Amino acid sequence: MEEAIKQIGDRLRGLRESLDLTTDEVAKAAGVTKEKYELMEAGETELSVSTLQKIAKAYNVELDALMFGEEPHMSSYFLTRRGKGLSVERRKAYQYQSLASGFRGRKADPFIVKVDPKPDDTFLQKNSHPGQEFDMVLGGRMELTIGSKVLTLDKGDSIIFDSTQPHCMRALDGKTVTFLAIIF
């Protein structure tokens, strides 16, 4: 995981340098402090997809280029076989598998997300990002907090919400939860 975070940090630095931007400018676009952004570039902090998505949209690059170091090439369709999507663990308890990494110009970013269980007293950092998010639980149970509302989703349950609201997920019952997340 640490190597993946360092590689994303290198890609962030490369993007910033190629566009001749300051760390202040990119931090503002990402909605984080300059100090937090500098830690991201250095590969010394966990990264959220929502923060990477904000940077990608602000500078008109594909999210995949930041997350995986690859530009999408397909424009008619892109097939992802079960278990074969590009994966990245960018936070200690989250693993994302992209289901559309090769499709250019897409309007949504679909992922299979696995969240490992944490102790009940663990602080959960909420994130927000532009647009909407659709989540459907494929296995396990998930606690989803949106703003101050706490919901429990069981296997087969789905939800769509305004993802500008601060939100976070937690695996329940001491088991990993797997869900489909589509970010619009």
What confidence score (pLDDT) does residue 122 get? Answer: 84
What confidence score (pLDDT) does residue 92 get? Answer: 57
Percentage of the chain lying above the pLDDT 90 cut: 39
- The residue-averaged pLDDT of 13-38 equals 90
Q: Residue 149 pLDDT > 80, yes or no?
A: yes
What confidence score (pLDDT) does residue 83 get? Answer: 74
Per-residue confidence at 1, pLDDT binned at 50, 70, 90? low
List the end-to-end C-alpha distance of the chain, in Å, as a whole number: 26
Report the chain's mean pLDDT, rounded to a whole number: 86
Residues 171, 142: contact at Cβ < 8 Å?
yes
Q: What is the full DSSP assignment across 118-155?
A: --TT-----B--SSEEEEEEEES-EEEEETTEEEEE-T
Q: What are phi and psi of 165, to 5 degrees?
A: -75, 135
What confidence score (pLDDT) does residue 88 get? Answer: 61
- The residue-averaged pLDDT of 174-181 equals 96
Q: Residue 93 pLDDT > 60, yes or no?
A: yes
- The residue-averaged pLDDT of 154-181 equals 95
What confidence score (pLDDT) does residue 100 get? Answer: 85
pTM: predicted TM-score of the whole model, two decimal places: 0.65
Q: Mind listing the pLDDT tens digit for each residue in 112-125? A: 999 999 888 888 88
Q: Mind listing the pLDDT tens digit for each residue in 39-86? A: 988 988 877 787 888 898 888 888 878 887 777 666 677 777 777 676
